[in-house]
Amino acid sequence: MGDRLKGKVAIVVGAGQAPGSSPAIGNGRATAMLFAREGAKVLAVDLRLDSAQETVAKIEGEGGEAAALAADVTDEASMQAMVAACVERFGRIDILHNNVGISVEGGDAPITEITSDSFDRIVAVNLRSIVFACKHALPVMQAQGGGAIINISSMAAQNTYPWVTYKATKSAMIEMTRQIAIQNAEYGIRANVILPGLMDTPMAVDRRAEAFDRPRADIAAERDAKVPLKGKMGTGWDIAHAALFLASDEAGFITGVALPVDGGSSCRVG
């Protein structure tokens, strides 16, 4: 157990984990666990309460403090209730970590094939959810005189990507984070966004294997081959460590930054 977040309270939205047969850990669960290891009290939020509770059990098993909460990120009232529940239980909000996102499982498709229902659902999960989480958390942070917001975008925002809605929402998230950063700097609130590259997580690999009815190992091997750094995808822990830095006082003069965590993939030109 460390102390880089000692005395801080963190909401991790998407702290559960997508179902999958692999032992891989998701970005949200890894982040919630690492925040707790470094001294934060964590409100682990997920659509599936049982998954959030699994994360809490892991945190408590390591001696950390956490509570689970079920919330529907597409519902503003649910996001408002999440913020209220955190303040009621822990007294403040120092860190808001937004980790939800869907793509193919939400029906994403090329622009010539996307349906209005799929487009609206993915926008609601990937982008609108963060707008309303921030809408209700920011007044708490403003009153406190500080806080840190970390949003999870994707390198799909900058790289070639076959489906339209995920790319559009993850791109919009970058500029929205920069807007939050500049408009709340006077309150001591920092806002940054992480851009994961190819990651070995249940959502990224297991769901693709299921969606395309292919062996997980084949999907993983194809993704590994695209990563310059050691020819291996990153893991949820890589995202968690980046988030820990941005949440900590070590990043106290960093705001409005989009941080690639991609094993060098963004270094390629042409």
* Catalytic entry in 119, 132, 163, 166: 166
User: Which residues are 13's β-sheet partners?
Assistant: 45, 98
Instruction: Encode pLDDT of 94-106 as tens digits.
Output: 999 999 999 988 9
Q: Output the pLDDT for position 216.
A: 86
Active site residue 187: no
Instruction: Encode pLDDT of 156-166 as tens digits.
Output: 999 999 999 99
47-72: average pLDDT: 97
**What are the chain's domains?**
9-201+235-258 (3.40.50.720)
Distances, alpha carbon 167 to alpha carbons 16, 74, 122, 186, in Å: 23, 19, 10, 31
Given a cut of 80, whether residue 81 has pLDDT beyond it is yes
Backbone φ, ψ for residue 171 (5° rounding): -70, -45
260-265: average pLDDT: 96
Q: Output the pLDDT for position 248.
A: 98
| Type of residue found at 163 | W
66-88: average pLDDT: 98
Q: Output the pLDDT for position 270.
A: 61
201-207: average pLDDT: 81
Instruction: Encode pLDDT of 129-188 as tens digits.
Output: 999 999 999 999 999 999 999 999 999 999 999 999 999 999 999 999 999 999 999 999
Angle between helices 129-144 and 164-184 (to 10 degrees): 10
Closest by CA position to 129, among listed 12, 13, 246, 257: 13
| Residue 138, C-beta contacts closer than 8 angstroms, at least 6 positions apart | 147, 180, 184, 189
